[in-house]
Structure 1
Amino acid sequence: MTSISRIVLGALALCCAASALAQTQAQTTDPNAPKTRAQVKQEFLLWRSVGYDPNDWLNYPDNAIRASRIIAQRQARGETAVQ
């Protein structure tokens, strides 16, 4: 697989992950407003902190689903900070 296709697949996976995370988070601002670069970075760090590895294609989408469940559980308990 070429490096360009890996980059495209990685970007696609990150967009899907960010979209899934956005659906689980309570929005206090306009949900249609674009996210800032800092918000996207924070979400990515949150996903990485719960074990999501965007380079692990062998276990995708199971690793993304597992990470989204962990994030949803933490948000339900009020734990949203990256650890």
Structure 2
Amino acid sequence: MTSIPRLILGALTLCCAASAFAQPQTPTDPNAPKTRAQVRQDYLQWRAAGYDPNDWLNYPDNAIRASRIVAQREAQGNANVH
């Protein structure tokens, strides 16, 4: 009879370990804080869209332009998913 409780205990331990190592789900809340990887990805997208953080003379314009380009690319990417 001692092997059945050990088997159940082993199964519970395996389930707990599997849930501990499971991949975290991406947050769907837009107000949720971003991870470093997400912030870096956003920065790289803005740089690819032409944003230059060292261009102070054209600051608001180049940031707005890059923001629009990134938004368009994301909209196109989301449209292709569906």
TM-score (norm 1): 0.57
- Structure 2: stretches of 5+ with no match in the other structure: 1-25
Tell me what 1:46 maps to: 45
- Tell me the residue number matched to 2:61: 62
> In the aligned structure 2, how far is the partner of 1:76 from the partner of 1:30?
18
Q: Which has the larger radius of gyration?
A: 2
> In 1, Cα distance between the equivalents of 2:52 and 2:69?
14
Q: Distance in 1 between matches of 2:38 and 2:29?
A: 14
Q: C-alpha distance in 1, partners of 2:62/2:43?
A: 14
> Unaligned regions of 5+ residues in structure 1, if any?
1-26
Of Structure 1 and Structure 2, which has the larger fraction of its residues in helix? 2
Aligned-pair CA distance for 1:28: 5.6
Calculate percent identity across the aligned residue pairs.
Answer: 77
Instruction: Provide the alpha-carbon RMSD of the alignment.
Output: 1.9
The code of the aligned residue for 2:66 comes to A
Distance 2:27 2:33 in 1: 13
